[in-house]
Structure 1
Amino acid sequence: MCFFDQHRFACGDWKWGHFRQHCAKEYRIGETCGMKLIMQTVPVGQKCKLCEKIDTKMRRRGAEVERISRWQREGVKFRASIDKAMDIIRHLDMEIYDLSCERNKRLQGIGALSAHP
Structure 2
Amino acid sequence: MCYFEQSLWSCGYWKWGNFRQQCNKEYRTGETCGLKLVYETSFIPSPCKICEQISKKDRRVRKMEEDIARWRREGNRMATIEKTEHDIRGVQGQIEDLWRGHEEKRRSIC
Q: Residues 80-99 of structure 1 correspond to what in structure 2 (within 5 A)?
A: 80-99=79-98
Question: After TM superposition, which residue ranges in structure 1, 4 or more long, deviate above 3 angstroms?
Answer: none
TM-score, normalising length from structure 2? 0.94
Aligned partner of residue 16 in structure 1, secondary structure: strand
Relative to total residues, which structure has the larger helix share, 1 or 2? 1
Identity of aligned residues (%): 45
Aligned to 2:25: 25
Aligned partner of residue 77 in structure 2, secondary structure: helix
1:101 Cα deviation from its structure 2 partner: 0.8
Aligned to 2:3: 3
Query: Number of residues paired by the alignment?
Result: 110
Q: Deviations over 1:15-63 (max 9, x none)?
A: 1111111111011111111100001110123222221211111111111
Does 1:57 find its partner at 2:63?
Answer: no
Counterpart amino acid of 2:88? I
Counterpart amino acid of 2:79? A
Unaligned 5+ segments in structure 2 are none
Counterpart amino acid of 2:55? D
> Cα RMSD between the aligned structures?
1.1
